Amino acid sequence: MKSKASAPGKVILFGEHFVVYGVKAILCSINKRVTVTAEKINERKISINSKIGNIVLDPGKSISEINSPLKPFYYLANKVIKNQNTGIQINIDSEIPLGAGLGSSSACCVAGAAAIFRLFGEISKEEILKHAIEAEKTIFENTSGADCTVCTYGGIMEYDKKQGFKKIENEPNFHLVIVNSNIKHSTESMVSKVKQFEIENEEEFTKLCDQESKLVKDVLELLKENNTSKIGEKINQNQEYLEIIGISNNELRKMIKMGQKSSFGAKITGSGGGGCIFAITNKSNLDKTLKEFKNKNYDCFSVKIDFKGLNTF
């Protein structure tokens, strides 16, 4: 018997970094997915296959022994077969670029938890999310859980550290053009960089957090009106705050400037220092924006909000 599940990637529309300090963020899932297939096998092994590598391991190993980006899958499989006399084979197929801040690892954890646990019976989305967050912690211990949450439930949501998530019920119809700088970055080191900024500029940082909170509040209203052009202005404003806290660089600024010219607004998404930016468009300026980046040989594509979240087959 095979069990299959897919989960979407994500974009942080507003509030990255400030969310770490308690400010509300807005995230959405995107129509690029990871699909995971799990199957019981006779041999008592955990076998994981993907485009980034293959591993075959005995169950029962400690996670600290495993030096592979595929370890969240091992963690999930190992947990589920602890008291079962079976092995598991897992296959991963992803449309989401790796390590670019687009939620590839969260989508892997969510689709992985669903495919693996469903081999042994029914399980609720809430339980799947819990296992997925545990699995993600094998890679980034301090994850807020926001990414796995949006990958599970899909759509667009507000998220804050204390109150968790709240889905935004209306369905915005904007398109996002995602542009990948292909500059490697680490969430952990960018979060430390912002921490340093906060320590050295306490007053300014508090003011920025207040400004970001106000901006997010305004955006929640604009989303109700589906006002893409005004939301674009807020995106540009958010980018200015990200510039001040030091997570941008010349290459990202160049990309953002191009995006801001042809679309309604553009900013970094995620931790910055590299990774991706996005530009917000509607049908009137989508092709033009995409073409500008393609003409300059940027790695870019367009996405829409995914409203399905986790899907199981």
Contact residues for ligand PMV, defined by CB under 6 A: 12, 16-17, 19-20, 101, 144, 187, 191, 270-271, 275
CB of 193 to ligand PMV, least distance (A): 10
CB of 167 to ligand PMV, least distance (A): 18
**Residue 147 among the catalytic residues:** yes
CB of 12 to ligand PMV, least distance (A): 6
State which amino acid sits at residue 200: E
Residue from 58, 147, 218, 287 carrying the catalytic annotation: 147
Sign of CA dihedral 96, 97, 99, 102: negative
Q: How many other C-beta atoms are found inside a 10 Å radius of the C-beta of residue 166?
A: 12
CA gap 30, 61 in Å, rounded: 34
CB of 70 to ligand PMV, least distance (A): 18
Nearest CB to ligand PMV, comparing residues 191 and 220: 191
Contact 108, 68 (CB under 8 A): no
Burial string for 212-229 (b: 16+ CB within 10 Å, else e) reads bbebbebbeebbeeebbe
Write phi, then psi, for 115 (nearest 5 degrees).
-65, -45
**Position closest to ligand PMV via CB:** 270
What are 137-146's contacts with CB under 8 Å, separation 24+? 138/63, 138/71, 138/72, 138/75, 139/69, 139/71, 139/72, 139/105, 140/105, 140/187, 140/188, 142/188, 142/191, 144/19, 144/20, 146/19, 146/25, 146/27
CB of 114 to ligand PMV, least distance (A): 21
Strands (E), the chain: 2-14, 25-41, 46-50, 53-57, 87-94, 156-160, 164-167, 175-180, 265-269, 276-281, 299-304, 311-312
- Active-site residue set: 147
